[in-house]
Structure 1
Amino acid sequence: MNFSDLAKMKDMMSQAKKMQAEMEQKLAATTVEATSGGGVVTVRMNGKKEVLKLKIDPTVMGSNSSDLELLEDLIVAALNEAGRRADDAMKSSAQGLMGGLLGGLPDIPGLT
């Protein structure tokens, strides 16, 4: 590889990082909503799979509907934590795979 090839690779990596950042911003700004049980449960989520709001129809709680908001908040927190843990596990697996693939290559200054 000559210097020109390294410069092109570095430029391509920079462009890829910029595109990834733009995509993450778009995903964060995107919201979707889904229901189940004929509308008994409604979930609003952003494009990064973070639960923004959970709504449970109060009629499913019967006479104990005063705890409904707390239950909704606890479910949202648990779903988001599970999502973070799944993402962490995927990142860890991907890093292990990439480390194995790139382990035999020499370090190239400016690309990390």
Structure 2
Amino acid sequence: MEEIAIFYSIIKDLCGGRVYPDLIPVQNSATDPAMWPAMRYVLVSGQVEATNCYQSFNPRVQVDIYASTAQERAQCVQQVMDTIQASDEIECLLKTTPFFSYDIDRKKYLATFDYLIV
């Protein structure tokens, strides 16, 4: 999907370039500070627009940010939002506000939110 490729091209340099599709790689050790923060983006849904002769699909992308501290997590969330909002390449609508939690398995602070690409 071209929209997802454009979305990635906009965010790829954030979190020190640790931006991954679908999952955070296993080699990202929770104890190695050089591996964090990290971000993953996942195509989770979308919106179908139907017309008489054509259907188009607007993808919905979930963004998960993992960070070592709550402050670092908040900074990364703000960077993502500012970067996407400033982009002229693609129009994204924030569909959920960031949900902040803690990933017990990874021992990382987590933020989850998603965008509809229109």
Larger Rg: 1
Normalized per residue, which structure has more strand?
2
Tell me whether the two structures share a fold, i.e. TM-score over 0.5: no
Flag the structure with more relative contact order, 1 or 2, with Cα contacts below 8 A and sequence separation at least 6.
2
| TM-score for the superposition, normalised by structure 2 | 0.26
> What TM-score, normalized by structure 1, do the two folds share?
0.27
Specify which structure has the higher proportion of helix. 1
